[in-house]
Structures are given as structure tokens and as C-alpha cells.
Structure 1
């Protein structure tokens, strides 16, 4: 048995619904995708499909399914299964906004024969093949698809994965049981056949320090994801750590554009120059993360260095604010027309690493005359608002994906997503994001990705702070737990100590 601790209850392991790290990590073990992505080379590899081809303009994708694949309830995987899953994702709409974005322009799926399927789009969709490797486009059995989204969220999600859900106790643990009849595997994972661990117990330990303590003491065999700020307390002679820069969006602060102050480009631009990212990396994360240099992390294909918009330059920040009419008041905080330059963030997790980072930003921003108000609250209170009506100015989230198209999924105005742009189009940004999606030519697609990054940062639509890092740790009873291309653990490839590769 493998006993692994998570920082919180995933609560929803329907792969089509939640975009959150822990939820995606659990769903990845239960359900599988047509293709996978090699975490070392980025190459697209076979999984549930053994062959595939796209037409010249990437509008039609044909997949030939692996023979003999079954879901854990015995239902065979067929071309109709693929159609039913992709149709469901599109129908879920905002509830599956990541998947719906990956299927943008979806015209339908055609069953060519029992094991051959064609997925068609109204326009070129250059990102789709990589999108088909992500957990969001996993395939589920008919018995699951026939349930309502709420029933699936905490119900029996039936996939073709190497594990199946055996037990769930809210707030306490989730148990996965190995499928003995699983002879196939992903071409991106160095493993075939059933998993090495018969059972995986996932317990939930919210406090980062307690999570590390459970790992170091041997209370659990492994822990994921570990808070980077706690890694210094881990004895690396007894605990193996695998820590890597993630692909996707750099961890940002997000200006909420429905708020009066955040509508002002000068204020947003000043925040980027007032931020000392190197100090955040060194003081909050003990040098274990790298300062953000763009909207994308360095590990993401299509990343371009945009340091010119993110350079720590307090004098420049003051100049931008003064030119916009913000004058320093008697208490050092700037004012204009009687209004104080006061910006608020609300967050859950008092005493957390993020709160410490916000406190450091509070000090940095005050040096240029900005009052950064911190308002810790409960998760229940946070859930009362969306980013479209939140009564505060900044939010924080990230999104992982090993393709620059993650920018479109997050920053477009034309799909329901996490973006503050939804319903508030910025034409130049939309054009760049659509070009990246529709352009098949590799060089031109890279140019579109660079243009999108530049436009997002030029007017401060994002305040990237540091490149996200995925870290898993395990003790002496475990030989390895490999990452997939998006830094989710692969329990299929995990092995106990002393066991050779199959």
C-alpha cells in the first residue's frame, strides 16, 4: 500500500469539471486520455489511441483506438465512448470551462468504425492534439456520463485508469484500489500492466508544516504537493524530493477589471514595477522558486522573456502614478480627487506562505504610495463571490498546461473561464490568442504566443510573481513516483523500494 497525503480534500474528481491541482491529480489515476505527452521531450505519445493523424489545416483529427481497453465496470472503450465524452464536455459548458476551451469550435465526433473516430472543428485547432493529452479530456464510462454533474462530482467516477475509486470519507481520506486487469499503459510512462501498489490511501492534511511532519516522521509514505516554503525542514538524507518548475501560467496576482482602480492601466503597470520578485523568491521561498519573467513560466513552450514589464523599479512606479495624477499624501499613501490609492485582496489561509508573501508586497508597494489591504477570510466566505462581482481588487490563481494555448484558456474574453476578460474584450489580446489557436505553422504560432504575452503585460493585466513549482516527496519505502507532463504524480509508474522496473 502507498499512503500519500494531500493538502486538502479534492471534493470533486470528475476530470471534466475541476481545474484544481489536487482534484486533477486524483482524476488522473482513475481516467485516461487518447494520447499522452512525454514529460521529458514534450512528444505526443500513444495511450488509449495507438495512431492518429490530422488533416493539413488541423480541423479534423482521426484516432485509432487501442484494442481490448475496458472501463473498470467492464464496458469496452469504443469510438462511441469518445463521442459521448466530448459531447458531454461541450454540453457542461462553464462547469467544464477548461475542456470546453480545448474543444473550441467543436463540430462533433464521427464514429468511422468501432475503433476509429474523427473529431472535427469549424476552424483550425492547432492546440487540440496537445489538449487531448490533458486530464480534462479524459474518457469516462457510460454509467458515469449518464449521471448529473453533481452526482459525478463525489460519486463513482468510472474510467479506464490503473486505479478505481474504492472509498471516500469527506475531509478524511480517499482510497484507490488497483485494477488487476489493466495490461495497457501510456507511452509516456515507463510502466505497463497493473500498478505496483495494490492500494493507494490519500489522506488530507491542510497545514503545510503538519504535512511535512507526517512525511518526515513516516506517518505517510509520500506527500504532494508540498509547500515550497517548507522544504528546508525536510532531511534529504531520508526523504527524496522531486521539485520542478511547472508549465503554464506563472503564479500571479490578477487585477479584477470590474473594480474602479483596476480599470486604470497606470495603476496596474505601477504594481508590476513596485514588485520585487527576487525578494519574494529569496525571502518567502528561500530561493526555491524563480522570479516570474513573463505570464508563462520558463518551462512552458512559447515562453518569451518579458522582464522589461516586470523589472523592479520603484522610481518608475512613482513616475507612472504621478503622471496619472496620484500625488503622495501626508501619510505616504497617494491620493487623487480625495480618493486614497488603496487596493484590497481577500484570501483564505491566515498565517500561510501566501499571506507572508502578501505582507512583503504590502511593504514593497507602500514604498511607492500604495496601501495594500490584506483581508483574510474563510473558504466559505470566499465562495460567495465570483471574480466578476468580487468586492475586492486582486485575486490569485494559476493554471498548468504544457502548451502556450493555456493563455487562451485563461485570458480570452470569448469563453467562460477564470479570466477577468470574460465579457470585457481587449481586441488585440483576443486576436493574438485566436491566432495562436488557429495557426498551424510552428513559427507563426510562437510569434502569436509572444504577442499575447507582451500585450497582457504591457498594460498590467497580470502581475506575475514567480514560476510555479511542483514538489513531491517520499520516504524510504518508496523507490519513485514519477511526474506527468503537467507535474501530476503518476501512480501507474510508482514503485515500492526494492522493486525493479516491470
Structure 2
């Protein structure tokens, strides 16, 4: 599933999630599309996507894809680059206390919300407090907030954010659209209004959001506070931006190839070569950071509470071959819970485990699943080896439903019965909270290695009061210690070493079944220039323009 990732599920992808969103200076313009002349102001860019937000408020939404729809409207205090560097945006500078618990920001002057409100320290406090307000029911943003204590307004241009413990990932989280700064006037209108429209200081303003159809935006003529690293200053080049929801791959691809729209998300892997062969089109790839598209076994109860059974499932299925054939090589097989584009990725995981059906059979024997019934499934004490998998079919993208069916068929060969339950996002939430499943699937796009804490910290196991992303329900004190230590240092090398230990341990415990590394496959027509990327691998449109040639 990818609630794109979800409702009450972690990305449950998209979305991933995947789980940071500062503006990057790297353009999405292929060599074949080298701009001719200076950027042109005006025009409309129409972008087709394969999923939609269920709630436009990124503070509340559980979907990381919400960041794609709200980033045109919302700026952040800081921006994040592809190498993990933090840069000024709405905050011109900041200081971190020696104990790592207090962040003091100096804010940019002269910034206004599109509703006329003034951006100041009180607005920052209103936004951060809104994220942690129980009434917001934040799932994604709150999970990235760590041990937040509160925000203090020092003066109109200075704000102080405090934590009960050191929290080094804060700036990277702050750079995402999920911490985008909204108008306090809009926040005061309540959750129902925010779910349909958000108001920010960004380069675009929302005209209308029509569920199942998309969102239209117009240029903010007063915009003059782009982040460091942007390709230009002042208002956006585009006069209008339109994001259309086209869930059917064939429809979305046809709209691009026929020239009805300018760009599309998620070009179907089977059609990548077709698009690349068209002289009017190009494919731009961007590997997503954060949690890969993974399967998460319930390590706390059911058949996967036994580590040998978990390892047998993972090692007994040739994930790499299935992924390679289904996606025509456009996605790489995953070996770690996080992608190579993530800060702190450990390449040693690529040789840590391998496809081994003979070893899987031996593990199942050792776990006591020595019998076989008439249909060939393993049994123990008369019970069949059954894996219950609640699957959000309506949110499945990138042929994940087809992939799941192929995994089901391969699992049968080694003795597992995989049973799908087609659930809605609303159905899934109580199952997740109660641990009423054996296996779940999602991606979780985030640029920072702290995504591992979201996915495996004990405190992120879902409960009746907090919907965490640790759906593996993984409970390991040693891993928790490493994740806690990573919060106390801003040294990227030290954090990477700790994250490497986490990746190695969760693989050794088979607490995750890595499936594939998501590549954003952007299809663009030749008239589209300078679509940018956030480090989280979502396209951005501030620098984009449409060529008249």
C-alpha cells in the first residue's frame, strides 16, 4: 500500500514517503531539452499524477504525497539540499544550543501570506503548535517532530523552539512541506476547511481543489523570498499550474503522448522506452530517499513472531528477479529498509542476505512447520502456515497489486499461504492499531536517515493514542539505543555509523522485507523547462517555465 501512501498508515508511499522536502537546485531538464534562450514568463503547466491527497493539510495528512500538492503554496523555515545541507528560507539564520535542545531562528522580514497576513514569529508558533495539537490528529508530521516541548516568541523576528532531549533531525524535518508554514487565519478555520485548501507564503495560490480531479493554482505576484539555491528570484515564471489526477496509467500516458498535458508522474515502467524514443518527450529519473517500498512483518504476534519464519519468507522468494521482470529494470531491488539516496545508507546491506530457497525450507523445518496439507502449504499441529495481508488496493500504485500477487504465488512454492484482505484506509487504521495483520506494505519517502527511527523505534509502534510508522511492531532495545544516540549528534558521519548498525540489525532480525527502490519516473514534453526536485524526490515548479518554441 502506499498511502501515498495511506490513511492512518505510514506512506503508506503514496508514500513512502516518503518520509525531507527542502527545495533543491538540481533541475529536471534533460540534455535533450537544453533551454533555448531565457526563461519565459507566463503560460500554464499541466501535470498529471496517479494519486491524490485525502487531506490537503500537510500538518494532519498521513500521506507523504500531500507534500507534492502543497509545496507550491507553502514555504518552509529552511531548505534542504541533496547532500543534507541546510539553507536559509523563511528563516535567515539559526542557532542551536550547546545541549542540542533549543533552536533559535531569526526570521526574514517583509514576507506575507497570500491572504494578506504577515509572517512573523507568532505565525511560526501557531504552525508548530498546530502540528502537535491532539485535535490535528497529525500522523506524518508529528512523527517527525521528536521530543518537542514548545515554541516561544522572543520578538516579531525571533522564535525559539525547545525539545526535552537533543533532536538533531529537526532542521531536516523542518525543511519538508509537512512543516510548511500556513497562514494563522487559515489554521483558525479548522480541520474541515484545511482539508480542502491551505494558504501559505509560497509562489502559488490554490484556486480550487476538486477531489478525484485535481488542483488548480495561480501565480503569487508578490512572491520575493525564494530559498537559497533557487534558479531565480521573484514570482514564479508560470502564470498557472494545474495538477490533474489521472489514476489510470494508460490515460495518463496517453494524455502526455498526445500533447494534452505537459508532464506526468510515474511513467509506467513498461512504457519508459516508448517515451524515450519519442523526440517530443523525455524521461527524468530521481531516486527517492527514505524507506524503500518494503513489506513489514508483524514481529510481535502471529506467524512472523518467529524470526526463522520471517527469514524463510524473505530468503525463500526471489524478490530481485520478480522486481526486475515486472518493472523492466526501472526500479532496483532493495536490500536495506532505506534507499541508497538516503543520508546514512549502508551499502554493506547489499550482500547481507540473498535468495536461498533451500535455506528457507530448512528454517521452516526448524520452526516446526514440517507438515504439508493437500494443497502443498506447510502445517504445524494441524494449522496451515497462513499470512494475513490487509492490502489497500485502491491506493496501490506502480503495479503493486500485480507484484503482491506474484509474491503470493512464489510464497506458495515454499509453503506459505498468503491471504489478502482488500481494505479501505478507514478499515486499516483499527487493524494497524490492534496489530491485526501479519504483513503490511508501504513506502516512506524522507531524505534524512532518521526515517529509520520512524520505522523501527519502539515509541513508533502504533497505539490507541499515536499512529506510529513501526508497523513491524519491532521492539529491540539495542536498536532503540542507536536511534536515540543519533538524535544527540549533528555530525553526519556519526549519525551514518549509527544508522548502519540499525540497518544491519533489522536485516539480521528479518524485521523488514526490502522490495524495491522507488525511482520517480517523470515524463516531460519538450516545452517544459526547469522542473526542480526536492531531496524527497517530488517535483517542484517555482523555477519551471513553458517554452513557446
TM above 0.5? yes
Q: 385, 389, 397: which one pairs with 1:341?
A: 385
CA offsets, 1:217-264, max 9 Å, x none? 112111124344542442442212211211000110111346511222
Q: Secondary structure at the match of 1:241?
A: strand
Which sits farther off after the overlay, 392-401 or 360-369? 360-369
Q: Does residue 158 in structure 1 map to residue 199 in structure 2?
A: yes
Partner of 1:65: 107
Task: Give the distance between the partners of 2:457 and 2:96, measured in 1 at CA.
Answer: 25
Q: Secondary structure at the match of 2:443?
A: coil
Check 1:228–1:346 CA distance in 2 against 1; reply closer, same or farther (3 A cut). Answer: farther
Q: 452, 459, 471: which one pairs with 1:414?
A: 459
Q: CA deviation at 1:151?
A: 2.7
Task: Give the distance between the partners of 1:258 and 1:210, measured in 2 at CA.
Answer: 42
Partner of 1:26: 69
Partner of 1:399: 444
8 A Cα contact 1:479 1:494, kept in partner: yes
Q: Does residue 97 in structure 1 map to residue 139 in structure 2?
A: yes
Q: Does residue 359 in structure 1 map to residue 405 in structure 2?
A: yes
Task: Give the distance between the partners of 2:171 and 2:244, measured in 1 at CA.
Answer: 34
Q: 426, 435, 447: which one pairs with 2:497?
A: 447
Q: Secondary structure at the match of 1:186?
A: coil
Check 1:232–1:328 CA distance in 2 against 1; reply closer, same or farther (3 A cut). Answer: farther
Check 1:351–1:338 CA distance in 2 against 1; reply closer, same or farther (3 A cut). Answer: farther
8 A Cα contact 1:163 1:177, kept in partner: yes
Calculate the TM-score normalised by the size of structure 2: 0.85
Q: CA deviation at 1:122?
A: 1.4
Task: Give the distance between the partners of 1:152 and 1:430, measured in 2 at CA.
Answer: 35
Task: Give the distance between the partners of 2:431 and 2:286, measured in 1 at CA.
Answer: 31
Q: Which runs of at least 4 in structure 1 moved beyond 4 Å after TM superposition?
A: 349-352, 380-385
CA offsets, 1:350-409, max 9 Å, x none? 89711221222123223322222344x364675574423465422111111111101112
Partner of 2:317: 275
8 A Cα contact 2:130 2:136, kept in partner: no
Task: Give the distance between the partners of 1:100 and 1:381, measured in 2 at CA.
Answer: 20
Calculate the TM-score normalised by the size of structure 1: 0.92
Q: What does 1:181-192 align with in structure 2 at a 5 Å threshold?
A: 181-192=222-233
8 A Cα contact 2:54 2:61, kept in partner: no
Check 1:421–1:285 CA distance in 2 against 1; reply closer, same or farther (3 A cut). Answer: closer
Task: Give the distance between the partners of 1:380 and 1:252, measured in 2 at CA.
Answer: 18
Partner of 2:353: 310
Q: What does 1:127-276 align with in structure 2 at a 5 Å threshold?
A: 127-154=169-196, 156-234=197-275, 235-257=277-299, 259-276=301-318
Partner of 1:479: 529
CA offsets, 1:454-482, max 9 Å, x none? 22222221111011211222112212311
Check 1:172–1:378 CA distance in 2 against 1; reply closer, same or farther (3 A cut). Answer: farther
Check 1:474–1:425 CA distance in 2 against 1; reply closer, same or farther (3 A cut). Answer: same
User: Which structure exhibits the higher relative contact order, with contacts defined as CA atoms closer than 8 Å and separated by 6 or more residues?
Assistant: 2
Q: 47, 69, 88: which one pairs with 1:46?
A: 88
Which sits farther off after the overlay, 62-71 or 425-434? 425-434
Task: Give the distance between the partners of 1:105 and 1:381, measured in 2 at CA.
Answer: 28
Q: Secondary structure at the match of 2:376?
A: coil
CA offsets, 1:296-319, max 9 Å, x none? 101111111323553111111111
Task: Give the distance between the partners of 1:67 and 1:427, measured in 2 at CA.
Answer: 46
Task: Give the distance between the partners of 2:426 and 2:133, measured in 1 at CA.
Answer: 29
Check 1:232–1:388 CA distance in 2 against 1; reply closer, same or farther (3 A cut). Answer: farther
Partner of 2:8: none
Task: Give the distance between the partners of 2:437 and 2:53, measured in 1 at CA.
Answer: 26
Q: 474, 485, 495: which one pairs with 1:435?
A: 485
Gaps of 5+ in 2: 1-43, 461-465
Q: 68, 74, 79: which one pairs with 1:36?
A: 79
Task: Give the distance between the partners of 2:274 and 2:300, measured in 1 at CA.
Answer: 42
Gaps of 5+ in 1: none
Task: Give the distance between the partners of 1:461 and 1:174, measured in 2 at CA.
Answer: 39
CA offsets, 1:253-299, max 9 Å, x none? 11134651122222111111123232123211101111112111011
Check 1:380–1:59 CA distance in 2 against 1; reply closer, same or farther (3 A cut). Answer: closer
Check 1:258–1:42 CA distance in 2 against 1; reply closer, same or farther (3 A cut). Answer: closer
8 A Cα contact 2:63 2:140, kept in partner: no
Task: Give the distance between the partners of 2:225 and 2:180, measured in 1 at CA.
Answer: 16
Task: Give the distance between the partners of 2:410 and 2:211, measured in 1 at CA.
Answer: 40
Check 1:258–1:388 CA distance in 2 against 1; reply closer, same or farther (3 A cut). Answer: farther
Check 1:419–1:143 CA distance in 2 against 1; reply closer, same or farther (3 A cut). Answer: same
8 A Cα contact 2:386 2:418, kept in partner: yes
Q: Secondary structure at the match of 1:388?
A: helix
Task: Give the distance between the partners of 1:92 and 1:404, measured in 2 at CA.
Answer: 27
Q: CA deviation at 1:443?
A: 3.6
Task: Give the distance between the partners of 1:236 and 1:275, measured in 2 at CA.
Answer: 37
Q: Does residue 459 in structure 1 map to residue 509 in structure 2?
A: yes
8 A Cα contact 2:50 2:397, kept in partner: no
Q: CA deviation at 1:43?
A: 1.8
Q: Secondary structure at the match of 1:311?
A: coil
Q: CA deviation at 1:484?
A: 1.0
Check 1:469–1:87 CA distance in 2 against 1; reply closer, same or farther (3 A cut). Answer: same
Q: CA deviation at 1:68?
A: 0.8
